[in-house]
Structure 1
Amino acid sequence: MGAQFLLYLIMLFLSLSNLSSHATIENQSHFFTLMKQSLSGKSLSSWDVAIAGERPYCNYTGIGCNDEGYIVEIDVSRWSLSGHFPANVCHYLPQLRILRLGHNNLHGNFPAGINNCSLLEDLNMTYSSLTGTLPDFSPMKSLKRLDLSYNLFTGDFPMSITNLTNLEWLNFNENGGFNLWQLPEEITRLTKLKTMILSTCMVHGRIPASIGNMTSLVDLELCGNFLVGRIPPELGKLKNLRQLELYYNQLVGEIPEELGNLTQLIDVDMSVNLLVGKIPESLCKLPSLRVLQLYNNSLTGEIPSIIGNSSTLKILSLYDNFLTGKVPTNLGESSDLTALDLSENHLSGDFPPNICKGGKLLYFLVLDNLFTGRLPATYGKCKSLLRFRVSSNFLEGPIPEDLLGLPHASIIDLGFNRFSGAIAKTIGNGKNLSELFIQHNMISGVLPPEISQASNLVKIDLSNNLLRGAIPPEIGNLRKLNLLLLQDNKFSSSIPKTLSSLKSLNVLDLSNNLLTGSIPESICELLPNSINFSNNRLSGPVPLSLIKGGLVESLSGNPGLCVSIYLNTSDSDFPVCPQIYSRKRLNCIWVIGASGIVVIIGAVLFLKRWLRKETEILEQDEILVWSSSHVQNFHKINFDQREIVEALVDKNIVGHGGSGTVYKIELSNGKTVAVKKLWSRKVKDSASEEQLFLDKELKTEVETLGSIRHMNIVKLYCYFSSSHSNLLVYEYMPNGNLWDALHRGRDRDFLDWPTRHRIALGVAQGLAYLHHDLSPHIIHRDIKSTNILLSADYQPKVADFGVAKVLQARGGKDSTTTVIAGTYGYIAPEYAYSSKATVKCDVYSFGVVLMELITGKKPVEPEFGESKNIIYWVSCKVETKEGAMEVLDKRLVGLFMEEMIQVLRIAIRCTCRVPALRPTMNEVVQLLIEADPYRFDSCKSSNKETSDVVKS
């Protein structure tokens, strides 16, 4: 009887096991059905849930099972999935150990139920576009790796992670939507933690000294936060630490000597803080140190000489401190140094002679110091160099012969020193050279024709030297040249006609030389923004277009120049050309005699007709004088200004702005232009404050916009005026402005996402040009959708520079205090209360424009609530269950959702309340390129080793 009962129990157990196994198979199969129902993506097509057989899902791509047939791994990262991840995953997959969903477009909040997966060891959801608040992670006792970086989480930081005592990897990088929070003492309970990345996630307060007890740490990154106080010396107990990133905080005090105990340390970055004192010698003799970045602090003292003995150092970046003394003589002799930036300090003495002995040096940047002596001849052998900048020092002697011809160098900057000798012919070997600056030195000899072989040159500044002889005509072969400054030298001979081949030339200055001969008519075809031929020995007639272009002042100091008698010369001191005057006088006598005969013969018959005709001619001449005597051209134009004046009639009005009326004028040559007629000067007394402001605003817009050459900046053709009016003539943009296209457009004018992305990218490229490519840089200060004009093919162009501000502070500082300018809804918060305009203010305003493009909403709408704007509305929406998807323009639903979420992430970064955490416009351009709606892989890639250290 007992045996039969035992047999019964065994059979019952087997039956229940089979039942349980069958249930598990059904649950796991059902989960994949849910996945295919809630997510979309091409890669899911390989999961055929209809295939017969036991546990077919174990053979699916990205799925792993154990020997019992339980699913233990799901890895669908970078599958371009879109949609909601199913809730309660571990209800269906109870044995799940690994879940990797990164680099997908998951809608909504953190998926419900994942935090109940008690056996889960690896959870990776980086770049998943998730939003909202995070749950309690305490049940996930087995978790070893947690990566939730690059998402849009908000609310309180999940302190429950301190209960996950098995954690080895923790990454919350780039989650700037959290409320401010402090690192708790309980974080030290994570004794197994090897990687802790809490960058740009709103950490404030002090770094707890107890972190020194987390001795398993290999990688500690707390950068881009609001940390204050001193760096705790207890960090010196982290004996396994290889990477320490504390940059972009507000840390004070000295760098602890105890960091020299971290013998495994490879990468140290404590830049952009408030650190003082000396660089610890103990830090510089670490045996494995590759990267040391301490730039933008207030460090003093000398660079420890021991660092010259390093055999591992690759990057040393100490710029913008108060360091003194000499650079270690043996720096670079024992290691493959890649980048050295010591700029903006008080360093002196000679340069280390063997800095590029390793053959890997890319960046040598030491500008704005007190260095003396000669450039070592060995520097001419640094074949790997990309940028070489030593300007604003006290260097002397000749330039090493091969230096200017380095094959890969794009920027060579030797300006503001005491260099002497000649420019070597080897400059022709600089095939990659883009910018050459040797201004304010004592360079002599001739400018070698071989410079024309450096065919990628865009900028040349050789001003304030002792160069003599002819300007080589071969320079006309530099077809990419944008800037040519040769003023204050001893150039003689004539101006080469070949300069007219430089179609990209924007600035040309040949003033204060010994140039002779006439001004070539062909040069006038260029008419660059800035031209200066003053104080030479030029002679002969001044080309008509230079007079009409308002460039008379740029010709002063040339006694031999003269003008035609037919020109209005009231604004210049040039005499009438004698030979022209004599010829004209004879012609005039002949004409007068002939006219007298005609008048005598037909006086009565033609008197009335003649008087009427003469009146018409006088009226036309009045228009011509009005339009030509006060004209400033910025581009070559092929229309008659009279047409502009005659077309200023009501039927051509297309709009009224804050400063005047805008006309659309179709010219006889088939070209259409836009003309802004500013308020009449007679409206107010010319000395009134309002009028002075208008004149200043006009001057700002004319000078700023006229100097710019960029496909995404609206083109200002010319400016001309009379005593009662000012006119600005622009290229006409047939599709109006972005505001109208987004908020007033008809269905047939609807902008799809690829078009909106192209507009965003174009505007970003225009602003990047203003912020990074001009010198001095320009802050627009009024970026908004009404100031973004659209061409026939919807190419965007930034317009209205009436409140632009040029950055003229020394050292390229990016701010200036001024009166408040801008438009409500677009103004950065710090600008509103500090009146300090920075490039980051433009970044903020651009972020608002991005949100307009993404949402289709205006910056301020009643639905946002009283005193609330689009930024507040978006931040609230992304906290809801529906997530970021709800803010997207409903007219674009179902199209390019992943790419739109990517751009939304960019917009949120651009509108961060903390200016330091906003990206630069160069970075924004790169991010938008990576979010191209037609790009297969839009994942972000970066090269930290060079991007962190290199200054443009």
Structure 2
Amino acid sequence: MILLFKLCWVLALLAPASVVQSWDTTFNDDVLGLIVFKAGLQDPESKLVSWNEEDDCPCDSWFGVKCDPTSRRVTELVLDGCSLSGHVGRGLLRLQSLQVLSLSRNNFNGTINPDLGQLGGLQVIDLSENNLSGSIPAGFFQQCGSLRSVSFAGNNLIGWIPDSLSSCMSLSAVNFSSNQLSGVLPSGLWYLRGLQSLDLSDNLLEGEVHEGIGYLYDLRTISFRKNKFTGQLPADIGGCVALKELDFSENSLSGSLPDSLQKLNSCDSLRLHGNSFTGEIPVWIGGLTNLQSLDISANRFSDRIPASIGNLTLLKELNLSMNQLNGGLPQSMANCINLLAIDVSQNRLRGDLPAWIFKMDPKSVSLSGNELSTRIQYPSATTTSSSLQGLQFLDLSSNVFSGQIPDKLGVLTSLLHLNMSRNQLFGSIPPSVGELKMARVLDLSHNRLTGSIPSAIGGAVSLVELRLEKNFLTGNIPTQIRNCSSLRSLILSHNNLTGSVPPAIANLSNLEHVDLSSNHLSGSLPKGLTNLSHLLSFNISHNNLQGDLPLGGFFNTISPSSVSGNPSLCGSIVNRSCPSVHQKPIVLNPNSSNNPASALNHRRNKLALSISAIIAIGAAAAIIFGVVAVTFLNIRARASMSRAPAVPTFSGGEDYSCSPTNDPNYGKLVMFSGDPDFVAGAHALLNKDSEIGRGGFGVVYRTVLRDGRSVAIKKLTVSSLIKSQEEFEREVKKLGSIRHSNLVSLEGYYWTQSLQLLIYEFISSGSLYKHLHDGPSTNGLSWRHRFNIILGMAKGLAHLHRMNLIHYNLKSTNILIDDSGEPKVGDFGLARLLPMLDRCVLSSKIQSALGYMAPEFACRTVKITEKCDVYGFGILVLEVVTGKRPVEYMEDDVVVLCDMVRGALEDGRVEECIDGRLKGNFPADEAIPVVKLGLICASQVPSNRPDMEEVVNILELIQCPAEGQEEYD
């Protein structure tokens, strides 16, 4: 029996249905069909363990199976949410009495089996929320028989909705939402007069919604949300008199609302937001008295809000935001006693803040971005305490409210979000803010608030975001802030705060963004700040802080601009050495002089004092002699210079002539083109104020040539390792001969035995690092710009490799962006200026950025080749695409970018790694191949990495056609 069944499974999987039906009918077709269906599935939760091939009938104990009690044939197969995967196989075709097939919320893949439509008795088919792909088969609905409900929602289906759908006259529910279906609506869709529910939302459907919909008298819900429909709402839509829910939001519909909508007396939800509707909000809207949700936001409605809205006494949600409405909020809205959420933000409303808003116990009120004025006043204490218990969201920002913040904030016991920013509020912050125990966001920024931050703020223990910037607050940052343990954003910039940064901030372990800039804070920074492992930004610029910056964690990579404007801060980030701290000498009190040992020690001390005195006198004489000698030499040098052409000087005291000279007292300046003279002025050539950057090889300054052209001068800090002058000049001239649009040009050099300068073209727009990590998060690089940067870097490196040059030191700070947005690779070939060193010494000298160095640097047996640059390029590609640094420090962990992206690729979620600032505005068919290319370039094995010429060719193949690029600019 078992062997025969197994033979039948194999034949059923291979044979056409006509052959299967000719088999011995003594076998139970339903058992055979279900066992064949199970054989093609993966069942990780063993939901189908009860399906036993030895059973004669599946009706009694098989999971998910129901049968007709008379015929004992399977009528229902319901396996929703069972984690099943595989294909919806042909075995189900044997279930000829099947009426309900529901396989939703699983992981079925492949295409929809077109033969399922041949099950003539099928009434319900639900394959929603799986991973099905391909198109809906054109003939699926040609023999739909008694089909009443079909759902393919939440899959990956593409193509058009087949016209054959209109032949299923018995259909009452159709749900194809959340797919990628495209094209226009089937011409016969409105022939389905029995439709009660139609959901085509979240697809790519386009064209006009044509008339005829008014004949669907039984239609109760319709959702075309989030498509690309154009034109007007069909004029006869009011014929759907049974409609309760209508959603055409997030399309491109236009025109005014059709008058027939006023016939929808049963409608309780009307959603049209995110279109381009114009005109006034019609007065008849107040006649839809069953409305509970009205959302017409993000359109172009103008004029006043009609007073008739006050007739909507059942209304719970009202959203009129992002229109062009003017006037005030009508007093009649006080009748909407059931309102829980009101949003009229981003309009042109004027007038007072209506008192009725706070009498109806709403949960959410947003009036931001209008021109509402007068003072913010709540009703009496009795009324307020009883009517505002449920208020959770209050946004009054960006209006012209004046006066003081009401003292009675504490009555808002359920408040989660309070925003009064960008108004004209004055006075102090009331201590009652500490009574907002549940508040997560408190934003009082951009006002005229004075006084201190109340210590009671520590009572708002649930705060996640506190914004008080751009006020006139004074006093200290209260130490009670430590009680707000959930705080992630602390923004107090542009005030008049004094005192020190409280160590209590170091206890807020969840902090991500801190901005204390532009205050009058003093003292040193708490060392415990290095323990804030979630920090993403920390700005203390323009204060009076002093001492050394904390070392470790986020502060190892903090931006110099975040600490600027503190003259007494020191550390490597601010390029200012901290003063050495020496221990005080230990002074011993001598014992009594009667002690012989003490007497001996006393004589020894006198002898030591005499010797010290002699040394001090000798040192003083040497100093005096040195001063005289230096003065004499300076006089001779000035006399010689008076006979030579005038030249500018370095702030370090080195002089140079504008042409080669054999005089050892002068340096040698060589410019490969142009005027070798520099503009003399208030700033010396290497003035500290002219410094624009530092790297592994030296400090970079900016200066100006006499022809008005700016140049960047790198003062090499590896002088002790530099080759002889002859070898130095030979290598520099080779570097100066390299010209490419994606390489920073070397314009000249300066040489003395103790000082070497390299003169480069000046690139004004800064480094790639600055654009990726230091710029405002809202102004990130577009995808097109990022791709062009990657391609330009590749072309520059390929040219270097053609010239047999290895860069050695690729990192985002060495990639500069010019005014036209083109990348230029800088600092190339500098390792050739050094003698051959142990590679560990070499890497420590020039590899100053963690994460870019190829692994072969750590292996003495592997030859260093151009493939080292390819590795660094691969890391740069991932950095550009993700917007993340090569290595980032998290709480108790270190995240290596390359490993993170590789893991995401293996898990099939690589798109999650794309920089969030792009907000999905990137072509996946470019981005994903670029990520894969970056990972290949960053392979641990050098031989697996492609050459840069190959990389350029691959990128040009990946690049989308020009006509499709504008969308991502």
Structure-1-length-normalised TM-score: 0.61
Mapped partners of 1:568, 1:147: distance in 2: 60
Corresponding residue SS for 1:102: coil
| Residue 366 (structure 1) aligns with | 367
Corresponding residue SS for 1:431: coil
Mapped partners of 1:783, 1:505: distance in 2: 19
Corresponding residue SS for 1:29: helix
Report the AA paired with residue 217 of structure 2.
Answer: T
| Residue 290 (structure 1) aligns with | 292
| Residue 763 (structure 2) aligns with | 692
Match 1:202 to one of 198, 201, 204 = 204
Report the AA paired with residue 142 of structure 1.
Answer: S
In structure 2, the CA distance between the partners of 1:599 and 1:209, relative to structure 1 (3 Å rule), is same
Match 2:86 to one of 83, 86, 91 = 83
Mapped partners of 1:530, 1:789: distance in 2: 15
Report the AA paired with residue 147 of structure 1.
Answer: S
Report the AA paired with residue 194 of structure 1.
Answer: Q
Mapped partners of 2:87, 2:899: distance in 1: 41
| Residue 447 (structure 2) aligns with | 441
- State which structure, 1 or 2, has the greater radius of gyration over its C-alpha atoms: 2
In structure 2, the CA distance between the partners of 1:562 and 1:212, relative to structure 1 (3 Å rule), is closer
| Residue 172 (structure 1) aligns with | 176
Q: 1:472 Cα deviation (Å)?
A: 2.8
Aligned: 1:431 with 2:437: yes
Q: Is the 8 A contact 1:343 1:366 kept in 2?
A: yes
Alignment of 1:640-651 (within 5 A): none
Aligned: 1:73 with 2:144: no
Q: Is the 8 A contact 2:33 2:91 kept in 1?
A: no
| Residue 508 (structure 1) aligns with | 515
| Residue 242 (structure 2) aligns with | 240
Alignment of 1:552-571 (within 5 A): none
Q: Is the 8 A contact 1:631 1:719 kept in 2?
A: no
Q: Is the 8 A contact 2:343 2:367 kept in 1?
A: yes
Q: 1:169 Cα deviation (Å)?
A: 0.4
Which runs of 5 or more residues in structure 1 are unaligned? Answer: 1-18, 577-589, 604-617, 619-624, 634-643, 651-677, 709-715, 737-762, 764-778, 801-825, 832-836, 873-911, 917-952
Report the AA paired with residue 81 of structure 1.
Answer: L
Match 1:840 to one of 920, 941, 948 = 920
| Residue 48 (structure 1) aligns with | 52
Corresponding residue SS for 2:881: coil
Corresponding residue SS for 1:460: strand
Q: 1:94 Cα deviation (Å)?
A: 2.2
In structure 2, the CA distance between the partners of 1:914 and 1:235, relative to structure 1 (3 Å rule), is farther
In structure 2, the CA distance between the partners of 1:124 and 1:867, relative to structure 1 (3 Å rule), is farther
In structure 2, the CA distance between the partners of 1:365 and 1:144, relative to structure 1 (3 Å rule), is same
Q: 1:430 Cα deviation (Å)?
A: 2.1
Q: 1:285 Cα deviation (Å)?
A: 3.6
Aligned: 1:146 with 2:226: no
| Residue 254 (structure 1) aligns with | 256
Q: 1:595 Cα deviation (Å)?
A: 5.5
Mapped partners of 2:237, 2:405: distance in 1: 46
Match 2:467 to one of 454, 457, 461 = 461
Q: Is the 8 A contact 1:719 1:728 kept in 2?
A: no
Alignment of 1:469-618 (within 5 A): 469-489=475-495, 491=497, 496=502, 498-499=504-505, 501=507, 504=511, 506-509=513-516, 511=518, 518=523, 529-532=537-540, 534=542, 542-545=546-549, 596=616
Q: Is the 8 A contact 1:181 1:202 kept in 2?
A: no
| Residue 806 (structure 1) aligns with | none
Deviations 1:385-419 (A, max 9, x none): 33322111011223233436744433321111122
Corresponding residue SS for 2:49: helix
Deviations 1:795-849 (A, max 9, x none): 564999xxxxxxxxxxxxxxxxxxxxxxxxx999xx9xxxxx9523258489737
Mapped partners of 1:468, 1:373: distance in 2: 26
In structure 2, the CA distance between the partners of 1:688 and 1:499, relative to structure 1 (3 Å rule), is same
Q: Is the 8 A contact 1:781 1:841 kept in 2?
A: no
Q: 1:524 Cα deviation (Å)?
A: 8.2
| Residue 227 (structure 2) aligns with | 225
Corresponding residue SS for 1:216: coil
Mapped partners of 1:235, 1:479: distance in 2: 54
Match 1:158 to one of 147, 159, 162 = 162
Aligned: 1:782 with 2:881: yes
Mapped partners of 1:370, 1:387: distance in 2: 20
In structure 2, the CA distance between the partners of 1:699 and 1:102, relative to structure 1 (3 Å rule), is closer
Deviations 1:355-380 (A, max 9, x none): 35454x33322211111123341577
Deviations 1:55-77 (A, max 9, x none): 34354232222222222211122
Mapped partners of 2:411, 2:613: distance in 1: 68
Match 1:130 to one of 132, 143, 150 = 132
In structure 2, the CA distance between the partners of 1:844 and 1:415, relative to structure 1 (3 Å rule), is farther
Mapped partners of 2:758, 2:280: distance in 1: 56
Report the AA paired with residue 85 of structure 1.
Answer: V
- Give the stretch that moved more between structures: 234-243 or 501-510: 501-510
Report the AA paired with residue 463 of structure 1.
Answer: E
Q: 1:695 Cα deviation (Å)?
A: 2.7
In structure 2, the CA distance between the partners of 1:115 and 1:403, relative to structure 1 (3 Å rule), is same
Mapped partners of 1:189, 1:48: distance in 2: 45
Q: Is the 8 A contact 1:281 1:304 kept in 2?
A: yes
Mapped partners of 1:294, 1:687: distance in 2: 63
Corresponding residue SS for 2:921: helix
Report the AA paired with residue 465 of structure 1.
Answer: N
Q: 1:325 Cα deviation (Å)?
A: 1.4
Q: 1:118 Cα deviation (Å)?
A: 1.7
Mapped partners of 1:649, 1:206: distance in 2: 74
Corresponding residue SS for 2:238: helix
In structure 2, the CA distance between the partners of 1:431 and 1:179, relative to structure 1 (3 Å rule), is same
Mapped partners of 2:38, 2:116: distance in 1: 18
Deviations 1:703-723 (A, max 9, x none): 249999xxxxxxx999899x9
Report the AA paired with residue 363 of structure 2.
Answer: L
| Residue 336 (structure 1) aligns with | 338
Q: Is the 8 A contact 2:123 2:148 kept in 1?
A: yes
Q: Is the 8 A contact 1:251 1:274 kept in 2?
A: yes
Report the AA paired with residue 75 of structure 2.
Answer: V
Mapped partners of 1:99, 1:857: distance in 2: 49
Higher-RCO chain (CA-CA 8 Å, sequence separation at least 6):
1
In structure 2, the CA distance between the partners of 1:867 and 1:109, relative to structure 1 (3 Å rule), is farther
Q: Is the 8 A contact 1:332 1:356 kept in 2?
A: no
Report the AA paired with residue 319 of structure 2.
Answer: S
Mapped partners of 1:44, 1:107: distance in 2: 19
Which runs of 5 or more residues in structure 2 are unaligned? Answer: 1-20, 580-609, 624-651, 653-686, 696-715, 723-741, 750-756, 780-809, 816-825, 831-844, 856-874, 901-909, 939-945
Report the AA paired with residue 418 of structure 2.
Answer: I
Corresponding residue SS for 2:75: strand
Alignment of 1:628-777 (within 5 A): 682=746, 691-692=762-763, 695-701=766-772, 703-704=774-775, 732=851
Q: Is the 8 A contact 1:485 1:508 kept in 2?
A: yes
Aligned: 1:318 with 2:320: yes
In structure 2, the CA distance between the partners of 1:50 and 1:733, relative to structure 1 (3 Å rule), is farther
Q: 1:237 Cα deviation (Å)?
A: 1.1
Q: 1:236 Cα deviation (Å)?
A: 0.9
Match 2:185 to one of 182, 205, 213 = 182
- Give the stretch that moved more between structures: 395-404 or 295-304: 395-404
Corresponding residue SS for 1:542: strand
Q: 1:337 Cα deviation (Å)?
A: 2.5
| Residue 594 (structure 2) aligns with | none
Report the AA paired with residue 763 of structure 2.
Answer: L
- Number of aligned residues: 689
Mapped partners of 1:568, 1:362: distance in 2: 48
| Residue 305 (structure 1) aligns with | 307
